[in-house]
C-alpha cells in the first residue's frame, strides 16, 4: 500500500469510507454535526497515527472501530454535560416515517455493543462473519449480540406502543 499522507491516498480513503462511516456515526449520535466530527477525527487519527495495515479489510476495520469509539466518546460527553442532543427531524406526516424514526431512536438507545452490530448488520448489510472481522470479535459473540440487541429492541418498541 501507498504510505499515508499522500494526497492520492487521503483522497482514496476519504472517498471510499466516508459515506459508510457517516451512517455508522449518525446511528450512534443524534446530531449530524457530531457524526461528521466523529468521522473527521477518525480520519485525523489515521493520518497522525499512520498505522500499517495488512490489507484493505484491516484498514476498513480500523476506521470503523475508531469511528465507533469517537462516536461513543462524543455521546458520553454530551450526556455528562446534560445538554440535549439535537433532534433529527423528519417529516412527521407519514406513519412509516414515524416507525422508522422510532426504530432508529431505539437502536441509538441500545448499549454500544448491541447498537454497533445491529447497525452494521441491518443498515450496512454486513454478514456476521464480516462484522466479527471488522470489530475483532468471535463470530458467535456477534450472533449473540445481534440476538440480544433484537430482543432489547423488541421490548423497547413494545413498551413504546403501550
With a cut of 80, say whether residue 147 has pLDDT above it: yes
For the four alpha carbons of 43, 46, 52 and 58, in that order, the dihedral sign comes to negative
Higher pLDDT, 80 or 59: 59
For cell 443498515, the residue is 123
Give tens-digit pLDDT for 103-135: 888 888 899 899 999 989 888 888 889 999 989
- When computed from its CA atoms, the radius of gyration of the chain, rounded to whole angstroms, is 17
Tell me which of 135 and 82 has the higher pLDDT.
135
Q: Which string of b and e fits 67-93 if b means at least 16 CB within 10 Å? A: bbebbbebbeebeeeeeeeeeeeeeee
DSSP state of 122: I
Q: How far apart are CA 149 and CA 155, in angstroms?
A: 10
pLDDT digits (tens, 9 = 90+) for 7-55: 788 888 899 999 999 999 988 887 888 889 899 999 988 888 888 888 9
pLDDT at 96: 59
Cα separation values, 100 from 91, 105, 121, 125, Å: 11, 9, 16, 17
Contact yes or no for 133/61 (Cβ under 8 A): yes
pTM over 0.75: no
102 touches 109 (CB < 8 A): no
What is the band of 88 on the pLDDT scale with cuts at 50, 70, 90? Answer: very low
Amino acid at each position: 500500500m501507498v504510505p499515508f499522507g499522500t494526497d492520492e491516498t487521503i483522497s482514496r480513503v476519504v472517498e471510499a469510507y466516508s459515506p459508510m462511516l457517516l451512517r455508522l456515526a449518525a446511528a450512534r449520535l443524534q446530531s449530524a454535526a457530531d457524526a461528521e466530527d466523529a468521522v473527521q477525527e477518525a480520519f485525523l487519527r489515521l493520518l497522525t497515527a499512520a498505522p500499517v495495515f495488512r490489507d484493505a479489510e484491516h484498514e476498513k476495520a480500523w476506521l470503523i472501530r475508531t469511528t465507533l469509539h469517537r462516536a461513543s466518546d462524543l455521546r458520553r460527553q454530551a450526556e455528562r454535560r446534560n445538554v440535549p442532543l439535537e433532534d433529527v427531524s423528519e417529516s412527521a406526516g407519514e406513519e412509516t416515517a414515524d416507525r422508522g424514526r422510532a426504530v432508529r431512536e431505539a437502536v441509538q438507545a441500545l448499549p454500544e455493543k448491541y447498537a454497533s452490530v445491529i447497525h452494521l448488520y441491518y443498515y450496512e448489510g454486513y454478514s456476521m462473519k464480516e462484522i466479527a472481522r471488522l470489530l475483532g470479535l468471535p463470530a458467535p459473540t456477534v450472533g449473540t449480540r445481534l440476538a440480544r440487541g433484537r430482543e432489547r429492541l423488541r421490548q423497547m418498541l413494545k413498551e413504546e406502543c403501550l
